[in-house]
Amino acid sequence: MRSVWAVFGLLAWVGGGLIVPPPVRAHEAASLEEEFVKGVFSPAFTPPAAGSYELPAVKRVPGVILKDLTGRSASTRQVTAGKVAVVSFIYTACPERLGCPLASLALQDLQAKLKEEGLGRHAILLSISFDPERDTPAQLAKYARIYGADPKLWRFMTASSERVLDHALEGYGQDRAPVYDERGRFTGRYRHVLKVFLLDPAGYIRNVYSAGFLVPDLVLNDIKTILGEGAPREVVER
């Protein structure tokens, strides 16, 4: 298992290879942060074995037409069809170290595990931006490179408009609220609960992970659980 310090090293690498100095008088917060990161990459429990539990469908998500990293339009359903998909909502300017950046590190870890286990053809990671204005395909491509996304396994998409994004957010049940300063000006930041959605090949949400439970080993077992079910479930609108 990866040690917490290795993860901090990874964060520092993402930050350009510099070591992030711990702020003074912040030992308590730093210790909590350490515990949090440790909980993701070295959980204090063994995830239950794949196939030993059920993941009942929460709901089916709609396909949404978004832009990929080349700027071409594609339906999210086309991207995820026939595979177990891990769909996250992120934005590249997210200032919360334990929000989007940590989620992307967890997905990076999951990507490596999927490759190790030879599951690359059966699963796909898809990160959708919260910020259609600033997260252009070119900007997302940089973010993808920094996190080492393998284009065959980890895709990034952005919406052509706020309206399209709202449709996607509503379909998944993902909140997002712009944050304003005291003078009512948009700060460029969004308040959102970190959620990562696990979809089966038919497009049903089978699990949702948020901060504290986005554990790559657990997500991997969930993916195997769905793959072990055999034929994709019949599409039934509920």
Check binding of 137 to other proteins (CB under 8 A): no
Check binding of 181 to other proteins (CB under 8 A): yes
Among 3, 73, 152, 179, binds other proteins (CB under 8 A): 179
Check binding of 190 to other proteins (CB under 8 A): yes
Sole window of 68-76, 116-124, 157-165, 174-182 interacting with other proteins (rule: CB under 8 A): 174-182
Check binding of 213 to other proteins (CB under 8 A): yes
Q: Could you count the other beta carbons within 10 Å of the beta carbon of residue 163?
A: 9
Task: Report angle CA 106, 217, 10 to the nearest 5 degrees.
Answer: 30
- Name the DSSP class of 56: -
Q: Could you count the other beta carbons within 10 Å of the beta carbon of residue 200?
A: 23
Amino acid at 149: A
Quick note: the x/- pattern for other proteins over 9-48, rule CB under 8 A, is --x--xxxxx-x--x-xx-xx--xx-xx-xx---xxx-xx
Among 209, 216, 217, 223, binds other proteins (CB under 8 A): 209
89 or 154: CB nearest other proteins = 89
State the DSSP string of 93-114. T---TTTHHHHHHHHHHHHHHH
SS3 236: coil
Check binding of 50 to other proteins (CB under 8 A): no
